[in-house]
Amino acid sequence: MRGETMKRIIAIILLICIVALSGCNTESPDINGTSDNTEMIPNETTNIPNKDIPQGSIEEKHFVLESNGYKLNAVYTYIDDGNAHPAVLLIAGSGPSDYDETLGTLKPFKDIANGLAKEGINSLRVDKRTFSYAANFDIKCGIEEEYLEDCNAAIEYLKSQNISSLYLLGHSLGGQIATELAASIEGVDGMLLFNSSARHLADIACDQYSALDPVNKESYTTYAEAAKNATTSSAKGYYYYSASDYYWVSYNQIDVAKNISNANIKTLIINSKFDKQSFDEDLNLWSTLFSDSANVSICVYDDISHFGYKIDTTDPSSIYTQVDFPSEVISAFTDFIKGDR
């Protein structure tokens, strides 16, 4: 037990260090105008060589997505063969994130996009507003500004393309956001929740902080309760787990389990027993809620990290050094998108 606790602590410390070093870009993207609601950036398309699909048929369109006055760098990876293909919107986890969801040397969204393209599936990934415009994210901003407005713009973009079906793939907190979108938007055919949780974000944060600092667990529990109980009338700008109580007011509107039921679309939940940012409670809750659901499939891996990479389970630092995204995870995504469930 002590060894597992130490591994979790080392993993969380490494994550905090890398995120702290990554920084945020607060400058507007360098863009050129186009005739539609997007703007092109230099090097519009890039070919991705692939032995399984005819040469030249996989393209990357780099453009700027406009959302509520903001201009966000985006990449649309697509099969350029004249046929309609399934399309996936990739939704990043919490905190500032570029469109590749870069963490150190890892670029999970780029790897997922390339892997899906080789299987005939298009994808869109977009810089988070908190990455490109961090200075504009003030104390009263919430889930709407961090995610929903921009995800809605991204979904509208995908609907304007030559696609056969539309899926949402959310990583970590992005998975919870995917459920919120799917429950409120017409035309979403399925969602993939990748190393996400049905638990409240404040409870997860409490467990993470308590693992690092068990002496102050009682204080962290108090912070979590304050975050979960934040209301419009009570919010005064207090911070709990690096987010203001105004943010928690907006987050508290999310009910993951209810959203999945209301969306009533096929859903794939993928988690890992070695994800050191989640806990047994997260895995157990998914099973409790949806083990008997006809629409929901649950898949648990033993040896992938929070960001999806294969890891050496005896070496916690390998979470950030293994750079090959596992083909079996791409296959799980692909089989779900192309299959009946």
Whether the pLDDT of residue 16 is over 90: the answer is no
CATH number reported for the structural domain that contains residue 261 in this entry: 3.40.50.1820
Q: What distance separates the 2 farthest-apart alpha carbons in the chain?
A: 60
73 DSSP β-pair partners:
64
Reduced to 3 states, what is the DSSP secondary structure of residue 181? helix
Q: How far is CA 243 from the centre of its chain?
A: 18
Give the pLDDT confidence of 151-203 residue by residue, as tens digits: 999 999 999 999 999 999 999 999 999 999 999 999 999 999 999 999 999 99
Residue 275 is predicted with a pLDDT of 86
φ/ψ (deg, to 5) at 173:
-60, -30
Q: How many domains does the chain have?
A: 1
Give the pLDDT confidence of 93-107 residue by residue, as tens digits: 999 999 999 998 899
Whether the pLDDT of residue 254 is over 50: the answer is yes
Residue 314 is predicted with a pLDDT of 79
Q: Which of 182, 34, 121 is nearest to 112 (CA)?
A: 121
Computed on alpha carbons and rounded to an integer, the radius of gyration of the chain in Å comes to 20
Q: Which of 183, 85, 70 is nearest to 129 (CA)?
A: 70
Residue 31 is predicted with a pLDDT of 40
* Mean pLDDT, residues 122-143: 96
Q: Do β-strands 122-126 and 190-194 pair in parallel, antiparallel, or remain unpaired? A: unpaired
Residue 19 is predicted with a pLDDT of 35
For residue 56, name the pLDDT band (cuts at 50, 70, 90). low
- Of the ranges 24-38, 41-55, 317-331, which one carries the lowest mean pLDDT score? 24-38
Structural domain boundaries enclosing 139: 2-338
Written as six digits, the tokens of 149 are 């407005």
* Mean pLDDT, residues 266-275: 93
* Percent of the chain scoring above 90 in pLDDT: 74
Residue 6 is predicted with a pLDDT of 46
Do 179 and 260 contact (CB within 8 A), yes or no? yes
Q: Is 23 left (phi over 0), alpha (psi -120 to 50) or beta?
A: left
Residue 277 is predicted with a pLDDT of 85
Whether the pLDDT of residue 5 is over 80: the answer is no
Give the pLDDT confidence of 109-124 residue by residue, as tens digits: 999 999 999 999 999 9
Whether the pLDDT of residue 234 is over 70: the answer is yes
- Reported as half-sphere exposure (CB side, CA atoms, 13 A), residue 43 has a value of 6
* Mean pLDDT, residues 52-72: 87
For residue 313, name the pLDDT band (cuts at 50, 70, 90). confident
Give the pLDDT confidence of 196-233 residue by residue, as tens digits: 999 999 999 999 999 999 999 999 999 999 999 999 99
* Mean pLDDT, residues 236-254: 96
Do 242 and 209 contact (CB within 8 A), yes or no? no
* Mean pLDDT, residues 320-336: 89
Whether the pLDDT of residue 47 is over 80: the answer is no
Residue 48 is predicted with a pLDDT of 54
Query: Which 3-state string (H, E, C) describes 281-323?
Result: HHHHHHHHHHCCCCCEEEEEECCECCCCCECCCCCHHHHHCCC
* Percent of the chain scoring above 70 in pLDDT: 82
Residue 290 is predicted with a pLDDT of 96
Q: Which residues contact 329 (CB under 8 A, 6 or more apart)?
A: 270, 301, 304, 308
Reported as type and span, the H/E element at residue 210 is: helix 201-212
Residue 187: C-alpha distances to residues 136, 157, 182 (Å): 31, 13, 9
